[in-house]
């Protein structure tokens, strides 16, 4: 459930929360691109620091930690693989560690860039963003519906599980093959419910004129304010600096050998 | 002024051998409150869906007869046009709410129709105020109670300003207290907006006294169409899957025992009035 | 005792304190109605009986077993729970296997399984549907199948969560009959329900719950006619009780739970006064 913690329903009140979601989306994208084009520990650390600033000012550090915690095994794997592949090419521990650190931190930056977006934007705002970015309404609707009905389905899963357990189903006992078979009494009713729900929803959609007009309007609208534009400009400047540093080959030194000075060979 | 006219309507769902509706003939006047009752599977829901076009457009099958709803023919008119004349509220509150906030949900059909933003904002406010849910505007549907959800569903439908409101067992999932409150609010809204209401409901005691007419649909036929009082007095409602309000059963018996007992009562209030009037004449 | 609740507290992971110090005793063969608004704790209480939920504080003892020491499968064998929408739990391709599922889980031999399934299907008049798909049954038949599934292994305690929801009068009549039969068989029957008229017809022991606490426990006639209690538990009074309460000043007794009693009273008052 920790991933879903990120999709809260009520807007937060910090500066970051109140930013126009399009600006946040653009920022996340730019951070991601910068991280992709650089494999320089200093840049990565700088990005991580910027992200931390954002996290702290948005006061979402606890939620962020929860989201990241799920990805830690992945980060550890990346660390290990990078270290060993580098070490096999150049058996110097410090270099190996340096690369491994860089790549795993880079992964962290990737994950954080978009998780920050989701942690500080309500699903409603995300839907509005998609709409104003001219994404066809069917996709936005599918997205919103998925979020809308996830808690409902989670509840249903619990109900079905309870009912089948009351019929003697034991879900955590027995050999692997039996446990797989034991999923059938849970999955079939869930599926049937999903199908039944789809019919009911489709009926309600018909009755609520879904697809009636090609030119769909909307209740709310996203408006860029001065602070949104200001923030965007700052981010654009940083982004262009980051890109030009790469293009001009001005990476803050081949820092990896430097790192070697701190680690005994 | 007749707003709904049904002539010789028959319908059999695709893949079924038994007709769900057999030669149904009814007419409803503007502003009437019609209670539709009958045994489960008898055809009540089917009848409702024939009025807003879901049958035969959404549910395929063998369809014959003529239906006119405010001059429109549901079998030939696009459902989005029918929805602006006859709004429909379903049983399960959860499965009629789509958006992530109450406000967004009520706006949903209006957005679909492509109305101007100002119009949408105004209609949403009015609908919320009507159903007394303005304070819930930012809440997500999942957080709401069943009763609140149904109110949002009703508001969403009323935002389209239909002349008729059709409801298919809207209190099924609610506890009796909430159900009573919901029906009371529906009655209020109906009077305020002069709506024509068709209510399919098992909990007859909550609506019998308020309804102008009762229609009993059993085995695909309309077996009774008239005043609720007459139905309960002259028929054994239980045979049609309809639980008579206890007060009604009581007064029906009293009528046979006491010559001076005037009428079969549909509510506790009516019963009280009858008793007091009889006692004062002693 | 069939089941005992000793100062049971239960708090959901969402921090909702659903049961607050509930202490109750259920005697074998009792017919009990648990009433209260949505969220009062009725379903939570029922789930403690077959071990789906274990108390956070206090304990629940069912047929002599402390629920904290037994699995749901073990407890379900003595305490069956028929959920509100049990008709949505079907998954087998035929009715026979649907009923046999629980019996096979409990480890009965195939011979015994067959006997019990046949008995249960016959009892609920579903034997002709034995090889049919449960999904093709009508609404009423599905509800009977849901009961047959639980009855098949003959638990001593049966819990029913909202058995009359969405039913017409004929289906409710059948349900009332089934419940009475279960009770006559000596089983302890617990009903969690809103349907106050249905309860008035059954005259069970009534327990009122409000916000996780027991606010009343006793005879149906006494509790459902008590205005304060009814208000506290946010339930509706039976219509006759409500009607006669409004006439108390004329000498009527509001403890009227059935039409016969109502007729008797009205005749008494009206004929008496005319003398």
**C142 and C39 assigned to the same domain:** no
Write the CATH number for C68: 3.40.50.300
**Total of domains in chain C:** 3
Same domain, yes or no: B210 and B138: yes
User: Most C CBs within 10 Å: which of A160, A166, A172, A179, as the mutation test of the C interface?
Assistant: A166
Domain of B276 in residue numbering reads as 245-282
Q: Are residues A110 and A7 in the same domain?
A: yes
Same domain? For A13 and A70 the reply is yes
Note whether residue A68 is domain-resident: yes
Say how far apart CA B159 and CA C105 lie, in whole Å: 52
| Subunit contact C102:A185, Cβ cutoff 8 A | no
What is the per-residue pLDDT across C107-151, written as a single tens digit (0 to 9) for each? Answer: 999 999 999 999 999 989 899 999 999 998 988 889 889 999 999
3-state secondary structure chain C: CCEEEEEEEEECCCCCEEEEEEEEEECCCCEEEEECCCCCCHHHHHHHHCCCCCCCEEEEEECCEEHHHCCHHHHHCCEEEECCCHHHHCCCCCHHHHHHHHHHHCCCCHHHHHHHHHHHHHHCCCHHHCCCCHHHCCHHHHHHHHHHHHHCCCCCEEEEECCCCCCCHHHHHHHHHHHHHHHHCCCEEEEECCCHHHHHHHCCEEEEEECCEEEEEEEHHHHCCCHHHHHHCCCCCCHHHHHHHCCHHHCCCCCCCCHHHHHHHHHHHHHHHHC
Q: Are C7 and C33 in contact (CB under 8 A)?
A: no
Peptide bond into A105 cis (omega under 30): no
pLDDT digits (tens, 9 = 90+) for C41-53: 999 999 999 999 9
* Total domains, chain A: 2
Upper half-sphere CA count for residue A24 (Cβ side, 13 Å):
27
Specify if A228 maps to a domain.
no
Type and span of the H or E element at A221? none
* Of B71, B88, B79, nearest in space to B30 by CA: B71
pLDDT per 10-residue tile (average), chain A, 265 residues: 47 79 89 85 84 84 81 87 84 82 87 84 85 88 88 90 92 81 91 91 93 87 88 90 79 55 55
CATH of the domain at B75: 3.40.50.300
pTM of this structure: 0.87
Let me know if residue C84 belongs to a domain. no
Distance (Å, whole) CA C50 – CA C82: 11
User: Same structural domain for residues C1 and C108?
Assistant: no
Rounded to a whole number of angstroms, the distance from the CA of C225 to the nearest CA of chain A is 34
- Give the three-state DSSP class for A203: helix
| Interior angle at CA A21, CA B128 and CA A118, nearest 5 | 95
For residue B145, the chain C residues in CB contact (below 8 A) are 38
Q: Are A45 and A118 in the same domain?
A: yes
DSSP secondary structure letters along chain B: -EEEEEEEEEEEETT-SS-SEEEEEEEEETT-EEEEE-STTSSHHHHHHHHTTHHHHTS-EEEEEEEEETTB-TTTS-HHHHTTTEEEE-S-GGGG--SSSHHHHHHHHHHHTT--HHHHHHHHHHHHHHTT-GGGTT--GGGS-HHHHHHHHHHHHHTT--SEEEEESTTTTS-HHHHHHHHHHHHHHHHHHT-EEEEE-S-GGGTTTT-SEEEEEETTEEEEEE-HHHHHHHS-GGGGT-PPPHHHHHHHHHHHH-TT-----SSHHHHHHHHHHHHHT-
**Mutation target vs A (from B45, B49, B79; most A CBs, 10 A cutoff):** B79
pLDDT digits (tens, 9 = 90+) for C70-119: 999 999 999 999 998 888 899 999 999 999 999 999 999 999 999 999 99
Q: What is the CA radius of gyration of chain B?
A: 20
Q: Are residues C163 and C204 in the same domain?
A: yes
Which is nearest to A102 in space by CA: A153, A56, A143, A42? A42
Q: Number of structural domains, chain B?
A: 2
Give the domain extent around A203.
Answer: 137-207
Residue C132: what are its φ and ψ, rounded to 5°? -85, 160
Q: Are residues A112 and A25 in the same domain?
A: yes
User: What is the pLDDT at residue A218?
Assistant: 87
Q: Residues A162, A111: one domain?
A: no
Residues A71 and A95 in one domain: yes
Model confidence over C30-39: pLDDT tens digits?
999 999 988 8
User: From the list B58, B96, B117, which residue is nearest A219 (CB)?
Assistant: B117
Interface check for C72 against chain B (CB to CB < 8 A): the answer is no
Please report which helix (H) or strand (E) contains residue A91, including its range: none
Closest CA of chain B from A132, distance in Å: 14
Is the domain of A81 the same as that of A105?
yes
Strands B196-200 and B213-218: unpaired
Does residue B274 share a domain with residue B165?
no
Q: Are residues B99 and B29 in the same domain?
A: yes
Q: According to the model, what pLDDT value does residue A5 have?
A: 45
| B225 and B127 belong to one structural domain | yes
CA A164 distance to own-chain centroid: 34
Task: Name the neighbours of B, counting chains with at least 3 Cβ pairs within 8 A.
Answer: A, C
What pLDDT, on the 0 to 100 scale, is given for residue C58? 94
As to burial, measured by CB atoms within 10 angstroms (0-12 exposed, 13-18 middle, 19+ buried), residue A159 is: middle
- State how far residue B125 is from chain A, nearest Cα, in angstroms: 11
CA B214 – CA B135 distance, rounded (Å): 35
Residues C43 and C167 placed together within one structural domain of the fold: yes
* Closest Cβ–Cβ partner in A151, A208, A217 for B117: A217
Of B52, B107, B138, the CB nearest to A219: B107
- The predicted pLDDT at position C275 comes to 37
For all residues of chain C together, what is the average pLDDT?
91
- Eight-state DSSP code of residue A219: S
C112 domain-assigned: yes
In angstroms, the CA A224 to CA A39 distance is: 34
Across the interface, of B39, B91, B246, the residue whose CB is closest to C259 is B246
Residue A240 inside a domain? The answer is: no
Q: Are residues B100 and B211 in the same domain?
A: yes
Do C73 and C1 belong together in one domain?
yes
Q: Give the number of residues written for chain C.
A: 275
Shared domain check, A49 and A79 = yes
Q: Going by C-beta distance under 8 Å and a sequence separation of 6 or more, which residues neighbour residue A191?
A: none
Is the pLDDT at C272 greater than 90? The verdict is no
Closest C-alpha among B81, B19, B23, B29 to residue B53: B81
Any domain includes C101: yes
Domain termination site, one of C102, C135, C154? C154
Domain of residue C142, residue span: 89-154
Residues C54 and C31 in one domain: yes
Residues of A in contact with B101 (CB under 8 A): 9, 124
Substitution target in C76, C86, C88, C137 with the highest count of A β-carbons within 10 Å is: C88
- Evaluate whether C133 touches A196 at the Cβ level (below 8 Å): no
Same domain, A62 and A97: yes
Residue C27 domain-assigned (yes or no): yes
- B263 and B167 co-located in one domain: no
- A98 and A12 in one domain? yes
How sure is the predictor about C187, in pLDDT bands with cuts at 50, 70 and 90?
A: very high
Distance from CA of A107 to the nearest CA of C (A): 33
- Would the CB atoms of C90 and A167 count as touching at under 8 Å? no
Residue of chain B minimizing CA distance to C39: B145
| Contact check, Cβ <8 Å, A166/C149 | no
Q: Are residues C9 and C140 in the same domain?
A: no
pLDDT one digit per residue (tens) for chain B, 282 residues = 999 999 999 999 998 889 999 999 999 999 999 999 999 889 999 999 999 999 999 999 999 999 999 999 999 999 999 999 999 999 998 899 988 899 999 999 999 999 999 999 999 999 999 999 999 998 888 889 999 999 999 999 999 999 999 999 999 888 888 999 999 999 999 999 999 999 999 889 999 999 999 999 999 999 999 999 999 999 999 999 899 999 999 999 999 888 888 889 999 999 999 999 988 887
- Is A178 buried (19+), middle (13-18) or exposed (0-12) by CB count in 10 A? exposed
- Same structural domain for residues A18 and A123? yes
CA quadruple B197, B198, B202, B207: dihedral positive or negative?
positive
B window 5-34, beta carbon within 8 A of C:
none
Query: How large is the average pLDDT for residues C6-32?
Result: 93
A189 vs C50, C91, C106: nearest CB: C91
A152 reaches C (C-beta below 8 A): no
Is the domain of C33 the same as that of C136?
no
CB-based burial label for B61 (10 Å; 0-12, 13-18, 19+): middle
A6 and A123 part of one domain = yes
Most distant CA pair in chain A, distance = 72
Could you tell me if residue A187 is inside a domain?
A: yes
- Whether residues A216 and B112 touch (CB distance < 8 A) is answered with yes
* CB within 8 Å: C71 and A170: yes
- CA dist C128 and C105 (Å) reads 24
Task: Answer yes or no: is C65 within a domain.
Answer: yes
In-domain check, residue C83: no
Distance of alpha carbon C203 from alpha carbon C238, whole angstroms: 12
Backbone angles phi, psi at B36, to 5 degrees: -110, 120
Co-location of C247 and C118 in the same domain: no
The residue from C138, C154, C170 where one domain ends is C154
CB-nearest partner of A219 from B80, B83, B124: B124
Distance of CA C11 to the CA centre of its chain: 23
Q: Is A247 left (phi over 0), alpha (psi -120 to 50) or beta?
A: alpha
**C207 and C115, same structural domain?**
no
Chains with ≥3 Cβ pairs under 8 A against C? Answer: A, B
User: Per the domain annotation, does C191 fall within a domain?
Assistant: yes
State ipTM.
0.88
List, as one string, the DSSP characters of A105-168: HHHHHHHHHHHHHHHTS-HHHHHHHHHHTT--HHHHHHHHHHHHHHHHHHHHHHHHHHHHHTTT
What percentage of chain A's residues is helix, strand, coil (to nearest 5)?
75, 0, 25
């Amino acid at each position: 459930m920790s991933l879903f913690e990120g999709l809260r329903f009520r807007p937060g009140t910090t500066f970051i929360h109140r930013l126009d979601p399009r600006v946040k989306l653009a920022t996340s994208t730019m951070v991601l691109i910068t991280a992709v084009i650089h494999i320089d520990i200093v840049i990565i650390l700088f990005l991580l620091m910027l992200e931390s600033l954002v996290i702290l000012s948005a006061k979402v550090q606890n939620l962020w930690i929860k989201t990241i915690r799920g990805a830690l095994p992945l980060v550890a794997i990346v660390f290990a693989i990078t270290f060993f592949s580098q070490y096999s090419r150049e058996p110097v521990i410090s270099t190996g560690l340096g690369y491994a650190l860089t790549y795993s931190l880079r992964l962290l930056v990737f994950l954080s860039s978009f998780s920050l977006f989701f942690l500080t934007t309500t699903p409603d705002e995300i839907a509005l963003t998609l709409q104003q970015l001219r994404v066809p309404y069917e996709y936005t609707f599918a997205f919103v519906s998925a979020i809308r009905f996830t808690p409902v389905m989670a509840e249903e899963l619990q109900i079905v599980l309870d009912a089948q357990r009351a019929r003697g189903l034991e879900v955590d006992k027995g050999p692997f093959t039996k446990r797989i078979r034991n999923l059938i009494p849970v999955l079939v009713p869930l599926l049937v419910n999903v199908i039944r729900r789809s019919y009911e929803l489709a009926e309600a959609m018909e009755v609520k004129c879904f697809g009636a007009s090609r030119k769909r309007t909307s209740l709310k609208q996203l408006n860029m304010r001065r602070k949104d534009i200001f923030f965007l400009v700052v981010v654009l400047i940083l982004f262009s600096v980051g890109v030009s540093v790469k293009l001009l080959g001005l990476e803050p030194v081949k820092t990896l050998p430097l790192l070697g000075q701190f680690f005994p060979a | 002024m007749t707003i709904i006219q049904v002539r010789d309507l028959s319908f059999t769902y695709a893949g079924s051998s038994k007709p769900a509706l057999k030669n149904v003939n009814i007419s409803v006047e503007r502003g009437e409150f019609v209670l539709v009752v009958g045994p489960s599977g008898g055809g009540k829901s089917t009848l409702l869906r024939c009025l807003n076009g879901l049958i035969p457009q959404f549910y395929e099958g063998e369809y014959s007869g003529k239906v006119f709803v405010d001059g429109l023919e549901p079998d030939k008119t696009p459902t989005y046009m029918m929805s602006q004349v006859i709004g429909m509220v379903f049983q399960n509150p959860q499965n009629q709410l789509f958006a992530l906030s109450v406000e967004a949900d009520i706006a949903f059909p209006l957005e679909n129709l492509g109305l101007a933003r100002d119009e949408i904002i105004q209609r949403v406010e009015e609908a919320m105020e009507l159903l007394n849910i303005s304070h819930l505007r930012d809440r997500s549907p999942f957080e709401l109670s069943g009763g609140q959800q149904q109110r949002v569903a009703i508001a969403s439908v009323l935002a389209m300003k239909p002349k008729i409101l059709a409801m298919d067992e809207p209190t099924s999932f609610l506890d009796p207290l909430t159900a009573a409150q919901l029906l009371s609010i529906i009655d209020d809204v109906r009077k305020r907006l002069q709506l024509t209401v068709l209510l399919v409901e098992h909990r007859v005691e909550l609506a019998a006294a308020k309804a102008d007419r009762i229609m009993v649909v059993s085995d695909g036929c309309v077996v009774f169409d008239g005043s609720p009082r007459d139905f309960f007095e002259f028929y054994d409602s239980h045979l049609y899957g309809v639980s008579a309000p206890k007060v009604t059963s009581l007064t029906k018996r009293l009528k046979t025992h006491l010559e001076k007992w005037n009428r079969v009562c549909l509510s506790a209030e009516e019963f009280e009035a009858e008793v007091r009037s009889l006692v004062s004449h002693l | 005792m069939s089941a005992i609740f000793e100062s049971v507290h239960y708090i959901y992971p969402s921090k909702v304190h659903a049961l607050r110090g509930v202490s109750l005793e259920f005697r074998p063969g009792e017919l009990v109605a648990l009433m209260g608004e949505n969220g009062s704790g009725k379903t939570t209480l029922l789930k403690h009986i077959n071990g789906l939920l274990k108390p956070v504080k206090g304990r629940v003892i069912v047929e002599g077993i402390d629920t904290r020491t037994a699995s749901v499968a073990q407890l379900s064998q003595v305490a069956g729970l028929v959920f509100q929408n049990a008709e949505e739990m079907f998954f087998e391709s035929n009715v026979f296997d649907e009923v046999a599922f629980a019996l096979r889980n409990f480890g009965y031999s195939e011979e015994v399984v067959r006997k019990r399934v046949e008995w249960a299907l016959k009892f609920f008049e579903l034997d002709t549907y034995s090889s049919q798909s449960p999904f093709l049954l009508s609404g009423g038949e599905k509800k009977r199948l849901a009961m047959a599934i639980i009855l098949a292994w003959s638990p001593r305690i049966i819990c029913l969560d909202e058995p009359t929801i969405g039913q017409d009068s004929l289906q409710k009549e059948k349900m009332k009959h089934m419940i009475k039969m279960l009770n006559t068989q000596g089983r302890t029957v617990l009903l969690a329900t809103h349907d106050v008229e249905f309860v008035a017809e059954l005259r069970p022991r009534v327990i009122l719950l409000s916000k996780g606490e027991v606010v009343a426990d006793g005879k149906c006639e006494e509790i459902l006619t008590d205005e304060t209690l009814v208000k506290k538990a946010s339930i509706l009074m039976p219509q006759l009780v409500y009607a006669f309460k409004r006439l108390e000043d004329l000498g009527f007794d509001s403890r009227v739970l059935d039409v016969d009693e109502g007729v008797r009273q009205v005749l008494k008052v009206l004929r008496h006064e005319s003398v």
